[in-house]
Amino acid sequence: MADLNDDELLDALGVDVAPLKTSSRTPLEERIIAGFEDIQRFFEEHKRLPFNGEGQDIFERLYAVRLDQLRKLPDALAILAPMDKHGLLSASMSQAVKIDELDEDALLAELGVDQNNSQVEDDITVLRNVRTSADRRAAEEVADRTPCKDFSKFQPLFEQAEREVKSGTRTALRFGRDASIQLHDFFILEGQFAYVAEMGETIKMTTGHEDARLRVIYGNGTESNLLMRSLQKALWRDETGRRLTAVDAGPLFSDTHDAEDVETGTIYVLRSMSTHPYVEQHRELIHKIGVTGGRVETRISGAEKDATYLLAGVEVIATYKLHNINRVRMENLFHKIFSAAQIDISIDDRFGNPVKPREWFLVPLQVIDEAVQRIKDGTIADVVYDVATAKFINSY
């Protein structure tokens, strides 16, 4: 591939390198607007307000909690009122029942919880604790949140976590069964993603418990400095409080074999000869990444008749030999790393049916090579791929 300078590479990737207009809004105001736009899109798509109830999609529950919070904040209302085209922030669109005015028994009844059922199920879907207004105020007073000045370096982490929740790579579990908190953990608190960016030394409390000071970054561009036990309490009190499971693709390399391991594997990178206009325009940057236990030539034979290969011939532009790998996990890892750069095109198969191939990525060859090296030396977990710059950036 011909060498491209930074400006040419960004131009080929479709990134506008022109100076951005300076916004008069603060980062916090921009995040408030972006969060409200998510709620508006939900309303337009589903023709109803988001509902925070058991069994609902986790993002719908987040939108419901976020909308409830926005209605309570005068500053947010002042910012959002001009763009509230559906009247989502008005009192008439609020829940008919004023939750804060209900006592505990009435609230349980409103939620449909049978107080006469004495059986306690060990299930995360069973509502065991309902917060009073005092509890909610205590949770909000855990620590003052301030704008995160370096949020730009954390934003790709939140975007990736959201994609992983949607794809099922991560799961949101009710907080409580596992109340531990570790560095780089992700949680959902009061309708926002929360990321443990820093953890101080362990502190021995007078009660005998161990604690630590945390720097927690939130998905709305704010941060707080609070004790670990304070975060645990806030997550426990919050009925929407969730822990995001860690991404675990399983061992890629090991000294032992399992049924899917092969003695030698080959990672291959292909370039398409398709005449599709988008492919022709970005041919030098569009690549398919795969892993095979056999010969690459055999794997790609008949590419012209296979929609997976864009119904066109392909060129092998790079191969990497690795020993004792799990090829399924390896291929899935590559696809996860570059998921944000997956191309979205549609082609007709031999029968005229539209097909959307999902294994081609708009990624420079040198970045793929770096990914292979990082997988080999174990540093791939320290970085995420940033589409805007076409580079890996630190994940912490």
The reply to whether the predicted model has a pTM over 0.75 is no
Tokens in use for 53?
A: 């109830």
CA 93/CA 86 separation, integer angstroms = 9
- H/E element, 322: strand 314-326
Does residue 110 contact residue 97 with C-beta atoms inside 8 Å?
yes
* Cα distances (angstroms) measured from residue 106 to each of 103, 126, 137, 138, 265: 5, 18, 20, 21, 62
Tokens in use for 116?
A: 């006469």
- H/E element, 70: helix 58-72
Does residue 349 contact residue 311 with C-beta atoms inside 8 Å?
yes
Residue 325 has pLDDT above 70, yes or no: no
pLDDT 10s digits, 228-259: 888 988 888 888 888 887 654 444 444 444 44
Does residue 17 contact residue 11 with C-beta atoms inside 8 Å?
yes
Q: What confidence score (pLDDT) does residue 96 get?
A: 37
Tokens in use for 93?
A: 């669109």
CA 216/CA 185 separation, integer angstroms = 10
pLDDT 10s digits, 97-140: 344 444 445 444 444 444 444 333 444 334 444 444 444 444 44
Does residue 40 contact residue 93 with C-beta atoms inside 8 Å?
no
By CB neighbour count within 10 A (0-12 exposed, 13-18 middle, 19+ buried), where does 233 fall? middle
pLDDT 10s digits, 8-57: 666 666 655 555 555 577 877 888 888 888 888 888 888 888 887 766 77
The average pLDDT across 312-336 equals 80
DSSP-based helix, strand, coil % in the chain, nearest 5: 35, 20, 40
Q: What confidence score (pLDDT) does residue 114 get?
A: 44
What is the full DSSP assignment across 249-290?
---SB-SS--TTEEEEEEEEEEEE----HHHHHTTTTEEEEE
